[in-house]
């Protein structure tokens, strides 16, 4: 029998309706459209404004979009992996709630957290379950409500992040399509540069932590940028070398949307031309766990069976990596 690989066979997405433009941000903090556009490539982002709703709201909608498009019975799903840095609440797994809400009653579910690399690492996890032959349908969802942890008086972070969700289905393939190779990395040196100080086990919530705004994201952007540029480019170049892929062989670069300049630097190192680089950062900003599946959905029409995709991400922790995947279907 041919080797089993894990192929993406269906995708779905959801972004909230509410648009936060650079022009509106100009009225909230000392910034301007020109600075944001030239430094990051972002023009607008989506925010979830529904009262009392969290990340699961968007994850459910993305999963339902996939189920509808693929005409899939949710009872057939074996496992749901929920990649997120902004779970609905501590302890009770968001993925478990999502599974029940979409009717995936035969699946087990859990959350996976690796900051902006959550979805990329989730691809590796989902793929390993499929390759083992143990499960046949693994749903990986990437969703984040970044607006719940952003201080909209802090111009260093509020211009960057947005909310969104995407979902992909992994199934076994014996024709050599799907996930081919991965390079995943982490380094605890990054802990100080991108973090939320309070609300965890080191510094539980108190009046003091709320007053000091310690429940919001802190980012030393310059340092993260430096590590992101070299980290993402290194692994992307390495995975090409290791699989004997030239820039002509690569059809698409599917890179985490944190900053257009980081994506450009990665594409340059790979020698991949601009027309092969999937970009939607101008519309959504950095949606953390949702950037990669949102790219797949926005460009689904252009992805062809057999295409070589290089996924790449960099995030807090630090966490980063690259995945080489052969696309498995024509829309």
Binding ligand UT7 (rule: CB under 6 A), the pick from 159, 272, 292, 295 is 159
Tell the smallest beta-carbon distance from residue 271 to ligand UT7 (Å): 22
Tell the smallest beta-carbon distance from residue 233 to ligand UT7 (Å): 13
CB closer to ligand UT7, 16 vs 41: 41
230 interacts with ligand UT7 by CB under 6 A: no
Q: Are strands 108-112 and 79-83 parallel, antiparallel or unpaired?
A: parallel
- Secondary structure, 3-state, 81-92: EEECCCCCCCCC
155 interacts with ligand UT7 by CB under 6 A: yes
222 interacts with ligand UT7 by CB under 6 A: yes
18 interacts with ligand UT7 by CB under 6 A: no
CA distance 210 to 205: 7
CB closer to ligand UT7, 258 vs 310: 258
CB closer to ligand UT7, 127 vs 286: 286
CB closer to ligand UT7, 14 vs 314: 314
DSSP-derived secondary structure letter, 215? T
CB 142 within 8 A of CB 311: no
Torsion of Cα atoms, 200 then 213 then 313 then 192, to 10°: -70
Interface characters, 89-118, with ligand UT7 (x: CB under 6 A): ---------------------------x--
Q: Which residues pair with residue 323 across a beta bridge?
A: 182, 311
CA distance 298 to 286: 15
Q: Which residue is catalytic, options 22, 65, 116, 173?
A: 116
Tell the smallest beta-carbon distance from residue 225 to ligand UT7 (Å): 4
CA distance 269 to 275: 15
User: Is 158 annotated as catalytic?
Assistant: no
DSSP-derived secondary structure letter, 76? G
Interface characters, 247-286, with ligand UT7 (x: CB under 6 A): -----------xx--x-----------------------x
Peptide linkage before 114 cis (omega within 30 of 0):
no
What does each C-alpha distance from 235 to 178, 193, 259, 314, 322 come to in angstroms?
19, 21, 17, 10, 6
Q: Which two tokens stand for residue 85?
A: 């840095």
Q: Which residue is catalytic, options 22, 173, 259, 286?
A: 286
Binding ligand UT7 (rule: CB under 6 A), the pick from 35, 110, 218, 329 is 35
221 interacts with ligand UT7 by CB under 6 A: yes
User: Is 286 annotated as catalytic?
Assistant: yes
CA distance 89 to 176: 40
Distance of CA 1 to the CA centre of its chain: 34
314 interacts with ligand UT7 by CB under 6 A: yes
CB 261 within 8 A of CB 110: no
Tell the smallest beta-carbon distance from residue 85 to ligand UT7 (Å): 10
196 interacts with ligand UT7 by CB under 6 A: no
CB closer to ligand UT7, 178 vs 317: 317
Q: Which two tokens stand for residue 80?
A: 């749901």
Number of other CB atoms surrounding residue 27 within 10 Å: 7
228 interacts with ligand UT7 by CB under 6 A: yes
Q: Which residues are catalytic?
A: 116, 256, 286
Q: What does the binding site for ligand UT7 look like in residue numbers (CB under 6 A)?
A: 31, 35, 39-40, 116, 155-156, 159, 221-222, 224-225, 228, 258-259, 262, 286, 314-315
């Amino acid at each position: 029998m041919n080797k089993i690989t894990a192929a993406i066979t269906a995708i779905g997405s959801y972004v909230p309706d509410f648009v936060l433009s650079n022009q509106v941000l100009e009225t909230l903090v000392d910034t301007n459209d020109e600075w944001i556009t030239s430094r990051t490539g972002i023009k607008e982002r989506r925010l979830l404004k529904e009262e009392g709703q969290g990340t699961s709201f968007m994850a459910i909608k993305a999963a339902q979009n996939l189920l509808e498009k693929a005409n899939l019975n949710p009872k057939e799903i074996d496992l749901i992996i929920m990649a997120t840095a902004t779970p609905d609440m501590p302890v009770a797994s968001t993925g478990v709630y999502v599974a029940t809400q979409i009717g995936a009653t035969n699946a087990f579910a859990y959350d996976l957290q690796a900051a902006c690399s959550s979805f990329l690492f989730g691809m590796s996890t989902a793929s390993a379950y499929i390759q083992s032959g143990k499960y046949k349908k693994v749903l990986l969802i990437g969703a984040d409500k970044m607006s719940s942890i952003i201080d909209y008086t802090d111009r260093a972070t509020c211009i960057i992040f947005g909310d969104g969700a995407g979902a992909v289905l992994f199934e076994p393939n014996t024709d050599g399509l799907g996930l081919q190779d991965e390079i995943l990395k982490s380094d605890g040196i990054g802990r100080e540069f991108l973090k939320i100080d309070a609300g965890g086990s080191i510094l539980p919530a108190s009046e003091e932590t709320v007053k000091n705004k310690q429940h919001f994201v802190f980012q030393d952007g310059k340092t993260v940028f430096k590590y992101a540029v070299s980290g993402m480019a290194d692994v992307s170049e390495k995975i090409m070398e290791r699989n004997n892929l030239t820039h002509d062989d690569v059809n698409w670069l599917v890179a985490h949307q944190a900053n257009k300049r980081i994506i450009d630097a990665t594409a340059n190192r790979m020698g991949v031309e601009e027309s092969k680089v999937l970009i939607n950062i101008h519309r959504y900003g950095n949606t953390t766990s949702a950037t990669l599946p949102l790219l797949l959905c926005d460009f689904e029409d252009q992805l062809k069976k057999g295409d070589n995709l290089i996924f790449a991400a960099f995030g807090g922790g630090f966490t980063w990596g690259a995945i080489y995947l052969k696309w498995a279907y024509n829309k």
